[in-house]
Amino acid sequence: MQLVHSVAHVPLSATEPSWAGFSHQERAVTFEGQCLTVMAVSWNGLHSGAIVIRDATGKVVFSDTSYRDPRNLWTPKPGRISFTYNTLWGTGIWETRVAILCGFTVELWDTCFEMVIDRRVAMSGYNPDSLPAGWEGFEQKGTVGYQGDTLVLQRSVQWWRFGDTVPIRRQLPTAKIAIP
């Protein structure tokens, strides 16, 4: 938390917004007539992160360090903050979600929407009926955009089964979700 509070007072550089193992983004968000600054901060090789909100004087009024590598910060409407972050990250697995925080007071923000946009799972092993090792996997890739107060989610999936030479691919329908 000390790092988060320190970074909240570091001015942004347009020429060097990030460096190895650390990144941050800032956006303005309005709430109850106040102009606030929200910041997405990542550190520890992008394995840790936080969402930090400052008031007009620069005072940190809210921070949450439970989001790993938050990025793609967006403020789609007053009192709403959207971003993506990593929820799973390890050998053979990866998951990214989009989250929207809703303001209840200047000091209290909570998740009012969350959805998986990327998921990758790889498994390896062998078929008991044949000795060569093989692998299977599943991959869902997504992009998030905004049209006014609507979140637009586009996703595709592909998967491999043991012995397949090419993956099976499907484009999922575009989802339009009203931002709460």
* Phi (first) and psi of residue 2, to 5 degrees: -65, -40
| Confidence at residue 18, expressed as pLDDT on a 0 to 100 scale | 46
- Per-residue pLDDT at 41 exceeds 70: yes
Tell whether the model's pLDDT for residue 86 goes beyond 70.
Answer: yes
User: Considering only CA atoms, which of 118, 112, 111, 104 is closest in space to residue 154?
Assistant: 118
Of the listed ranges 43-47, 63-67, 73-77, the least confidently predicted one is: 43-47
9-36: average pLDDT: 72
- Residue-wise pLDDT tens digits, 160-180: 877 777 888 999 999 999 988
Three-state helix/strand/coil letters over 38-85: EEEEEECCCCEEEEEEECCCCCEEEEECCCEEEEEEECCCCCEEEEEE
With 0-12 CB in 10 A as exposed, 13-18 as middle and 19+ as buried, what is 41?
buried
The predicted structure's pLDDT at residue 135: 64
User: Which tokens hold the place of 19?
Assistant: 């460096």
Looking at the predicted structure, is the pLDDT value of residue 74 above 60?
yes
Task: Tell me what pLDDT residue 58 has.
Answer: 92
The helix (H) or strand (E) run that includes residue 142 is strand 133-147
Closest of 52, 55, 57 to residue 24, by C-alpha: 52
The side-by-side arrangement of strands in the sheet containing 22-31 is 18-19, 22-31, 34-43, 48-54, 60-64
Mean pLDDT of 86-110: 91
Is pLDDT above 70 for 19?
A: no
SS3 at position 159: strand
Q: Where does residue 87 fall: left (phi above 0), alpha (psi -120 to 50 degrees), or beta otherwise?
A: alpha
- 105-127 pLDDT, tens digit per residue, is 999 999 999 999 999 887 666 66
Q: Where are the domains of the chain?
A: 2-178
User: Distance of CA 7 to CAs 26, 29, 45, 60, Å?
Assistant: 11, 18, 16, 11
Question: 65-92 as b/e, with b when 16 or more CB fall inside 10 Å?
Answer: eebbbbbebbbbeebbbbbbbbbeeeee
- Beta carbons of 98 and 153 less than 8 angstroms apart: yes
| Residues composing the chain | 180
- Binning pLDDT at 50, 70 and 90, where does residue 43 land? confident
pTM exceeds cut of 0.75: yes
